[in-house]
Amino acid sequence: MAAQEKVVYMDNNATTQVAPEVVTAMMPFLIESYGNPSSMHTFGGQVGMAIKEAREKVAALLGAEQGEITFTSCGTESDSTAILSAVRTFPEKRHLVTTRVEHPAVKNLCENLETITGHKYRVTRLKVDGEGMLDIAEYEAALTDDTAIVSIMWANNETGVIFPVEEMARMAKQRGILFHTDAVQAVGKIPIDLKSLDIDFLSLSGHKLHAPKGVGVLYIKRGTLFVPFLNGGHQEHGRRGGTENVASIVALGRACELAQEKMVEENSRVKKLRDKLEEGLLATIPKSMLNGHKTERLPNTANISFEYVEGEAILLYMNQHKICASSGSACTSGSLEPSHVLRAMGVPFTAAHGSIRFSLSVYNTEEEVDFVIEKMPAIIESLRKLSPFWKG
Amino acid sequence: MWEYTDKVQQHFLTPQNVGEIEKPSGTGDVGSLACGDALKLTLKIDGNDIITDAKFKTFGCASAIASSSVLTEMVKGMSVNEAAKITNEDIALALGGLPKEKMHCSVMGREALEAAIADYRGLKLPMAEGEVVCECFGVTDLEIIRAINESSLRSVEEITNFTKAGGGCGKCEDKLRKILQETVSGKSEFTIPQAKPKRMTSLQKIKKIEEVLEREIRPGLKKDGGDIELIDVDGDFVIVSLRGACKSCAKSQTTIKEYVEKKLRELVFESLIVEEEN
């Protein structure tokens, strides 16, 4: 095989390439426009204007008002801020509702709330079925007068499965319960219009939509009671202390603008590429299967299990061809158990250890998809030849 | 991303001795799909106890595959006795080291080798007879104690890295801490010379074992009208025969495992396995 130069990047749910347009937009704020937006002088003040513009662009992508956008350092900070704010707002309420398949940012925060407080807090973790879908009846039954907040991800990072957060937020609202959604994987990939919804808090992360790492947003619906997580200066309307990460905020604004422009492409061309990849792999590789609901899913994500082989080994063989993806296997995480998401779905061990997540972006091409479809069967076959369980 | 040595990469990307020997002299089958790694090792051993061929099949990550591959290279040409002395540390060393979280892959290699040798010798492995401490990965107390001793483990986290015990639900953490404390404190009580036990010659082992049998074990057995005789020492395996009242005693296996083996492990070398003569 001729040495292949180019990286085939299909790990966009982990992080994304910073769009060239985004780099261009942020550069001036790393070089000449270094003023502090809180300063009285024009030199700083003009930087404040840039932040305002970025805020408007983020708000436009989400169908929100610019006053509802608070910049943070990452998705995790946004999640923590929202959930802890609700807990502090309603100190007498000691119950939270979430799911078994949340990102660690929410999952571990909820666990900590239980353990650090000596189980003064009770957490209901909703089950998912074999396709990764929630049971709305179970959700409805879980809501109580004691529930401080519901935190349910919009789309799952591992499988791409989309949850009906619009409906669930409405149900929470009827019960007077705050609703938070970790939309880190959904924003930029599917249309979101918050003004028509009952979502109180929404988290997003810049580096998942072609902005740099180290910037996020917490959407706080107008009128929602709020207690800051980071106390300090008056930045972000007093909702988040700390001097603004100006260049990254400007970058995120531009990235949201681009996401808006490319939303149709994401849901047509990228989706087609994903479908081609998925169908190609499932058709050519025996004992392979899709994890997650076939249609209620982000347009860019395909999580496929290859039975009787282990994910880390697959990834490192793929790495030889410079193909980048992720796995839900135990070995890749550094823990000893496979992905909590796949286990919650009841994916059998034979398949959970051999799961590979391909996540595409607008930068992927058909040639790349063809290349992966061409290389994967031999990779899986060579590892199965090593496997004591494979009787092929 | 793990930091794998070139040697690990090499054995992972071009594994040696893949497959299964037909009509093997000994087979070692360890791990399971649920655990995330498994290894089937088959050995061909000639009339002179020399391992002439070794093949493996492994389900697992890069370090599991590399550990298996390098192990087959190591044992080929060795006598069974020599091979029985290979520790997980030896396997890791042959790979130029493994990330600490991946040490259990080298332990799996050693376990498979041990199982294959036991199979060849027609013996049962004692490890499976211990009490299961970690339900998630089916790890017994004997395996844990052995790893603590062999690799000088000093924390629960290290036990998890080497044996996987405690890496699932984590409910056995307290038990692991207790086993660790007991094992480590037990060591300081008997001041075993820190000479590497695996470096003992067979003659040294026999002498030492006879000494311990005479001083620590026989008196107790004789009180009950029994006795014990050392038949053979073969690598880690110590073959004994019970005499007198012990011979017909229904609890002879318990005597051997709980009393004789425990004592010999404490005072001679930690990895020995006591078996009764057939």
- Supply the pLDDT for residue A334: 60
Give pLDDT, residue B198. 46
Q: Which residues contact B22 (CB under 8 A, 6 or more apart)?
A: none
- Whether residue B55 lies within 8 A of chain A, CB to CB, comes out as no
Residue in A330, A337, A387 nearest the CB of B59? A387
- Are B36 and A308 within 8 A, CB to CB? no
B33 interface with A at CB cutoff 8 Å:
yes
Q: In this predicted structure, what is the pLDDT of residue B197? A: 44
**Chain A residues within 8 A of B12 when measuring between CB atoms:** 313, 316
Closest by Cα among A358, A334, A369, A312 to B101:
A334
User: How does pLDDT run across A62-95, given as a tens digit for each residue?
Assistant: 999 999 999 999 999 999 999 999 999 999 999 9
Tell which wins on pLDDT, A330 or B244: B244
Is some CB atom of chain B closer than 8 A to the CB atom of A115?
no
Task: Say what percent of chain A tops pLDDT 70.
Answer: 97
pLDDT tens per residue, range A254-268: 999 999 999 999 999
Asked whether the beta carbons of residue B61 and residue A310 sit closer than 8 angstroms, the reply is yes
Q: How confident is the model at residue A278 (pLDDT cuts 50, 70, 90)?
A: very high
According to the model, what pLDDT value does residue A332 have?
A: 61
- Do the Cβ atoms of B168 and A309 come within 8 Å? no
Q: How far is B41 from chain A (nearest CA, A)?
A: 10
Instruction: Compute the average pLDDT of residues A241-253.
Output: 97
Q: Are residues B153 and B89 in the same domain?
A: no
Domain boundary among A258, A284, A300: A258
In-domain check, residue A391: no
Of A258, A279, A305, the one marking the end of a domain is A258
Distances (CA, A) of A100 to A83, A108, A162, A201, A346: 16, 11, 14, 20, 12
pLDDT along chain B (278 residues), means of 10: 90 96 94 85 96 96 95 96 94 94 90 94 76 84 88 88 84 89 68 45 82 85 84 83 78 81 84 82
Check residues B244 and A191 and name the one with the higher pLDDT. A191
**Average pLDDT rounded to a whole number, residues A331-341:** 74
More confident residue, B209 or A206: A206
Report the domain count for chain B.
3
CB contact under 8 A, A310 and B64: yes
Q: What are phi and psi of A391, to 5 degrees?
A: -110, 40
Q: Is the pLDDT of residue A121 over 80?
A: yes
DSSP assignments along A41-77, one per residue = SHHHHHHHHHHHHHHHHHHHHHT--GGGEEEES-HHH
Q: Are residues A331 and A208 in the same domain?
A: no
CATH number at residue B253: 3.30.300.130
Tell me what pLDDT residue B132 has. Answer: 87
Name the amino acid, one letter, at A117.
T
CB contact under 8 A, A350 and B33: yes
Which residues in chain B have Cβ-Cβ distances shorter than 8 Å to A387?
Answer: 57-59
Distance of CA A154 to the CA centre of its chain: 8
Number of domains in chain A: 2
Residues 15-44 of A with CB under 8 A from B: none
Of A225, A258, A291, at which residue does a domain stop? Answer: A258
Domain boundary among B100, B121, B142: B121
A316 vs B12, B29, B167: nearest CB? B12
CB-facing half-sphere around the CA of A69: CA atoms within 13 A: 28
- Tokens for A22? 């985004």
Same domain, A30 and A13: no
Same domain membership, residue B201 and residue B139: no
B276 CA: distance to closest CA in chain A (Å): 32
Residue A312: closest C-alpha in chain B? B61
DSSP result, B31-64: EETTTTEEEEEEEEE-TTSBEEEEEEEEES-HHH
Contact assignment for A388 to B101 by CB distance below 8 Å: no
| Chain A (366-385) residues lying within 8 Å, Cβ to Cβ, of chain B | 385
- For every residue of A130-156, which 3-state class applies, written as one string? CCCCECHHHHHHHCCCCEEEEECCCEC
- Provide ipTM, 2 decimals: 0.87
Nearest-CB residue to A338 (from B15, B36, B64): B36
- Interchain contact A392–B (C-beta under 8 A): no
Residue A145: predicted pLDDT: 96
Contact: A388, B15; criterion CB under 8 Å: no
Out of A332, A334, A336, the one facing B164 most closely (by C-beta) is A336
Element (H, E) at B30: strand B26-32
- The distance of B72 to chain A (nearest Cα, Å) reads 14
Answer yes or no: is A245 within a domain: yes
CA diameter of chain A: 74
The H or E element spanning position A278 is helix A271-284
In a domain, residue B20? The reply is yes
Query: Which is it for the CA torsion A381, A385, A389, B3, positive or negative?
Result: negative
Question: Is residue B75 domain-shared with residue B182, that is, in the same domain?
Answer: no
**Could you give the residue numbers annotated as active site of A?**
331
B81 is in which domain, residue-wise? Answer: 6-121
Residue range A94-120, pLDDT digits in tens: 999 999 999 999 999 999 999 888 889
Query: Chain B contact for A329, CB < 8 A?
Result: yes
Of B29, B33, B65, the CB nearest to A386: B65
Q: How far apart are CA A124 and CA A142, in angstroms?
A: 7
Domain end among B189, B216, B232: B189
Kindly determine whether residue B37 and residue A310, on different chains, have CB atoms separated by under 8 Å.
yes
- End-to-end, the C-alpha distance of chain B in Å comes to 50
Query: How far away is chain A from the Cα of B57, in angstroms, using its nearest Cα?
Result: 5
* Domain end point (choices B67, B90, B121): B121
The domain of A320 spans: 8-17+263-386
Same domain, yes or no, for A160 and A76?
yes
Q: Do A349 and B39 touch (CB under 8 A)?
A: no
Asked if A313's CB is within 8 angstroms of B36's CB, the reply is no
pLDDT tens digits for range A43-65: 999 999 999 999 999 999 999 99
Give the domain CATH number at B23: 3.90.1010.10
Side-chain-side CA neighbours of residue A122 (13 Å) = 11
Distance, CA of B101 to CA of A343 (rounded, Å): 22
Confidence of residue A297 (pLDDT cuts 50, 70, 90): very high
CA distance A187 to chain B (A): 27
The phi-psi region of residue B188 (left if phi > 0; otherwise alpha if psi is between -120 and 50; otherwise beta) is alpha
Dihedral pair phi/psi, residue B115, rounded to 5°: -65, -40
pLDDT digits (tens, 9 = 90+) for A133-144: 999 999 999 999
Q: Are residues A178 and A269 in the same domain?
A: no
**Interchain CB distance below 8 Å, A313 and B12:** yes
Residue B1, in any domain of the structure: no
CB contact B34 to A (< 8 Å):
yes
